[in-house]
Chains A and B, each alone.
Chain A
Amino acid sequence: MMKRLLMLSLATAFIWGQAGIVLALNPGSSAYGNGPGCGLGAQIFDQKNILHQILASTTNQIVFFNQAFGITTGTLGCTNNNKFVQNEQATLFANLNFDNLSQEMAQGGGEHLASLATLMGVPAEQQPAFFAMTQEKYATLIESGETTPAAMLKALHEAMDQHPVLAKVSMTR
């Protein structure tokens, strides 16, 4: 707080740096489009830059990503295999939204959870069952999520496989 006050006492300094992050799909950029069917997962992160950003952002008291943020450049990218792409999208999303996902799973629903379900291929009519399941198995899902979001997704798939309704979705994915 002192830092903030100090900042503000610099009366005429109207402007302050704000950490931003550039992810995906920039117009006219060669970084986009590494393969057909690429969506969210198409952008390659430069891990060094991300770390750099986290440092820059904490000095501005704006924390962009927390510890749960663990993108690895190696696993991102696109192939012709649609299932793989979909998995990548879900993993990236889970990586970047782990906090909100963990809250919404406990609360039995929310837009982040609905979006994850969509990325995982769960149709709208089966999402209520999906929400209820994540609430039911919350403790185990989160435990695996603490290691990596990818592990959480794996645990989610396993839980879906054991679920009477969702197992079908998981199979057809």
Chain B
Amino acid sequence: MDHWGARFQSRRPLLISSVSRLLAIIAVLAPWPALAGPTGSSYLSELVARARSERLAATREWHLLLHYHENVFGGYTSEQDGPTFFLAPNGKTNPDAELEATLAGFFFDDLIGEAKQPVQCAFIGRYRWLKEKLAFDDRRLPPQSCEKFDRWIEALAPHSITMIFPSAFMNNPASMFGHTLLRVDRQGQTPQMRILAYTINFMAEVPDDEGLMFAVRGIAGGYKGGFSVIPYYLKVREYRDIENRDIWEYRLNLTDAQVRRLLMHVWEMGNASFDYFFFRENCSYQLLPLLEVADPSWRLTDQFTWWTLPGDTVRLATRQPGIVGAAVYRPARTTQIRRRYERLSSDERGLLRKILQEPALAREPSFQQRPVERKALLLDIASDYLRYQSITDEKQAEIYKARDREVLVARSELKVKSDDTPVEPFVTRPELGHRTTRIGMGAGYRQDEWFEEVNLRASYHDLLDPEPGYAPGYQIELLSGALRHYEKQNRTRLERFTLANVLSLTPADALFLSPSWKVNVGMQTLLHSGCRYCTAGVANGGAGLTFETHLLKREYFFGFGELETTYSHAFEEKHRAGGGGTLGMMADLTDRWRLLASAGYLRFALGEKSDEVRWSVGQRYTLAKDAALRFEFNHRERRDNEALFTIHAYF
């Protein structure tokens, strides 16, 4: 989802002469006076007639190649938005006209598009498909050589395709849901050479200095997106080394013919451009048509109506029988540091911290006398950590780099290879996770009356949802609401609505002192002075720290300082604003059973002056991958107590 980058290529429109010439052809569909001689024109008429009788423009293959989707009220529209992709002036909405204009284009040797190539080459996927369907006679429609395409394929040396999923990156809002891209694995590629393969990325072209408009335009489709093909080592560097994201690689089982079809279509994408919609037609979505072109029997894009989350596309691909082969895990640099750190004794941990400050210690006898494998492990962790520091703390980068150099020189003198035991992830594989839309039915007791409720959440994951596939301590809820019926008052009301509720608990330890933070914006139902159930708009945000223990299985203890502002008619002054703090604990009692408890105090000094003690206890029990039970108790506003029991299903 996160591929927002400036692209450097300018996209020149089709050569004007080609456009006008093609327009001329379409205007005079018969009898083709302008064509390459009488043979060409009569053969074109013949091909068009056959394509019409075989209804090729109505086939799924044609729709996929042109990215047509059926409109709600009939007809078709292509998702492609650029000026150089259609050969017919009404190609965006008319598959028939586009097919006929494409056939006409194959007779021309004008060079079109940015790469200045004949139509047969610029739209090589269409050409090969139509050639096969209509069995082109090479003498009457001479094939043109596509040197640029051939060289491109030669440089890619394709063998197979791998879907790459860099996991979510909480500290960049554009990357909060993860990302997906494809990698074109090379012939004869060994595991060590995977980084040399090229990747296929869909990304938006974002001008600099966009500021806040970025969010608005990103969501509303205000940017252009296009495909780029860049080496995997740059992506590994970006995700693993700089952003510290775990990467999963899923080998796709495609035949040679499918790989070739996919790549021919990628080549065609060089003349395509798409409006980028952050939530649906995004980086992850745009890979799906490529896979559908590879095998038209797969139904992938249909599955996403409102939004496309990278994790969902991975789950969708893994659900298609036989598509996904082996999965490979590539740990983030921080994951590697933390896993290797776990292998150290407490004495070694102390020594590591000293070496990080003063690498010269690696020369001292107290270090030198240790077994060589332990020395290598210590120095490997030290180097990784100093690199991590040089990236996160730019001001001190030179100091960390100098220390790293010293560590590495000492490391080279050990003359042994590093232990290459695989590093285990802290998170289970993303495709094992629950789906992201959630519906719930519940019942409970508030104040002095019973209620029933239904709730629905558009996406994505909260702390009490089943954890497999999601990072622990990670929550993003977008567009979630609950409708509740109160028995005694016989009243049904919108109980709460969440615009966004984002929370990141990152355990701080001796090596990583990352802050935890939270932001919650939405509507809640208050009980305040005279007002029994009052609507309130609330915004809350805070920052704090989390610590992890393993007393039972795994426990997180967290503390936040926070600010909150509320707007409600329940208050005489209609609003209140203030701050306070929260302490809490999240504990896994078993693999399925989690407890989340917190207590907080807030003082509102502005508007309606008041203070409030809140506490809550929630428990979740996982029934299945996509089903869970939840019991919550909340205390607010001094006398507002509520107990709620819910069953959740994910779809």
A interface residues (Cβ-Cβ under 8 A, vs B): 1, 4-5, 7-33, 36, 38-40, 42, 46, 49, 52-53, 56, 58, 60-64, 66, 93, 96-97, 99-100, 102-103, 105-112, 114-115, 118-119, 124, 131-132, 135-136, 138-139, 142
A22 and B148 contact, CB distance less than 8 A:
no
Within 8 A of A (CB), among B209-239: 210, 212, 214-215, 218-219, 227-231, 233-234, 237-238
B228 and A12 contact, CB distance less than 8 A:
no
- Kindly report which residue of chain A lies nearest to residue B2, judged by CB atoms: A18
Min C-beta distance of A129 to chain B, whole Å: 13
Query: What number of A-B contacts does a CB cutoff of 8 Å give?
Result: 230
Contact for A19 among B5, B271, B519, CB less than 8 A: B5
CB-CB under 8 A from B173, the residues of chain A are 7-8, 13-16
B6 and A53 contact, CB distance less than 8 A:
yes
The list of the 5 closest CB pairs from A to B, nearest first, reads: A28-B270, A20-B5, A138-B412, A114-B192, A27-B270
Query: Are A111 and B115 CB-contacts (below 8 A) given A5-B515, A8-B517?
Result: no
Within 8 A of A (CB), among B177-234: 190-196, 198, 203, 206, 208, 210, 212, 214-215, 218-219, 227-231, 233-234
Min C-beta distance of B7 to chain A, whole Å: 6
Query: Are A26 and B174 CB-contacts (below 8 A) given A18-B5, A118-B193, A131-B417?
Result: no
Q: Does B499 contact A (CB under 8 A)?
A: yes
CB-CB under 8 A from A60, the residues of chain B are 172
Query: Are A112 and B519 CB-contacts (below 8 A) given A14-B278, A16-B173, A21-B5?
Result: no
Q: Does B113 contact A (CB under 8 A)?
A: yes
Query: Are A12 and B230 CB-contacts (below 8 A) given A20-B3, A28-B115, A103-B387?
Result: no
Contact for A99 among B114, B243, B387, B543, CB less than 8 A: B387
- Kindly report which residue of chain A lies nearest to residue B191, judged by CB atoms: A111
Min C-beta distance of A123 to chain B, whole Å: 12
Q: Does B89 contact A (CB under 8 A)?
A: no
Q: Does B122 contact A (CB under 8 A)?
A: yes
| A21 to B8 Cα, complex, angstroms | 8
B interface residues (Cβ-Cβ under 8 A, vs A): 2-9, 113-117, 122, 147-148, 151-152, 155-156, 171-176, 190-196, 198, 203, 206, 208, 210, 212, 214-215, 218-219, 227-231, 233-234, 237-238, 241-243, 266-271, 278, 376, 380, 383-384, 387, 391, 394, 397, 405, 408-409, 411-413, 415-418, 420, 499-500, 515, 517, 519, 521, 539, 541, 543
| Chain A to chain B contacts (Cβ below 8 Å), 21 pairs | A8-B517, A18-B174, A20-B6, A20-B203, A21-B5, A22-B5, A26-B9, A26-B227, A26-B228, A28-B117, A28-B271, A53-B6, A61-B394, A64-B242, A96-B231, A96-B237, A102-B405, A107-B411, A111-B192, A111-B193, A114-B192
CB-CB under 8 A from A10, the residues of chain B are 212
Contact for A32 among B4, B152, B417, CB less than 8 A: B152
B409 and A96 contact, CB distance less than 8 A:
no
CB-CB under 8 A from B230, the residues of chain A are 21-25
| A25 to B153 Cα, complex, angstroms | 10
CB-CB under 8 A from B237, the residues of chain A are 96-97, 100
B418 and A108 contact, CB distance less than 8 A:
yes
Min C-beta distance of A124 to chain B, whole Å: 7
Query: Are A15 and B5 CB-contacts (below 8 A) given A27-B270, A106-B383?
Result: no
| A27 to B229 Cα, complex, angstroms | 7
CB-CB under 8 A from A38, the residues of chain B are 151, 155
Indicate the member of B7, B227, B383, B412 with the most A CB atoms within 10 Å: B412
Query: Are A63 and B152 CB-contacts (below 8 A) given A17-B174, A40-B231, A138-B409?
Result: no
Min C-beta distance of B285 to chain A, whole Å: 16
Query: Are A18 and B515 CB-contacts (below 8 A) given A93-B233, A139-B412?
Result: no
